[in-house]
Chain A
């Protein structure tokens, strides 16, 4: 079955760029049946969708983050990536990747802390 795994630095300095990668295993990211999303969750709070990408490279971002977000895909590595620029403490959260419109499955999540 398909599994997703997030990876990337756990600590990012304010004003810098957060970069994460989601590796897909057990299935191909190139199927256009699904798109691939990033979602985040600050500690003790709810879930916020960041954006999504198809294997074609087509993206849609949450308007609340659009000016700072870039999502890209590398089909040769079966991976997609998130870049979030100009981070502040408010971007500290667990970041998840997930498949499809109804978000199934999810990666295990990775905590990113924004601090100097």
Chain B
């Protein structure tokens, strides 16, 4: 299985901050990477697919980049509704695997 490692596992940030989350794959996955946002008690919501393509309806403050083994999710200006846990996921090969999550908390 491909291991997905996210860092940091948690972070504290203020409203208006620029936040970057990193995801590293244990082997190359081209651009077959997705990012999700999950709020407590809710299902994950897709933000980005193909490493950098924004899902319909997702605000442009979210952006993704990377290819191969190293990827980033950036939130350009953190808003109160963005405090959540973020997961990356590879779909280059079976089984699809997820990172351990990054919890974004209010400073």
Q: Which residues on A are within 8 Å of B, measured CB to CB?
A: 37, 46-49, 60, 62-64, 96, 101-109
Contact = CB atoms under 8 A, between A and B. Distances in A.
Q: Is the interface of A mostly helix, strand, loop or mixed?
A: loop
Contacts of A101: 32, 91, 96
B95 interface: yes
B94 A105 contact: no
Contact of A102 (B50, B87, B94): B50
Given A103-B36, A104-B49, A47 B95 contact: no
| Interface residue range, chain B | 20 to 34
Interface in B13-57: 32, 34, 36, 42-46, 49-50, 55
Contact of B46 (A37, A46, A62, A102): A102
Contacts of B99: 46
Of listed B36, B44, B87, B91, residue having the most chain A CB within 10 A: B44
B97 interface: yes
Contacts of A96: 43-44
Contacts of B42: 108
A104 B58 CA distance: 12
Contact of A63 (B45, B89, B95): B95
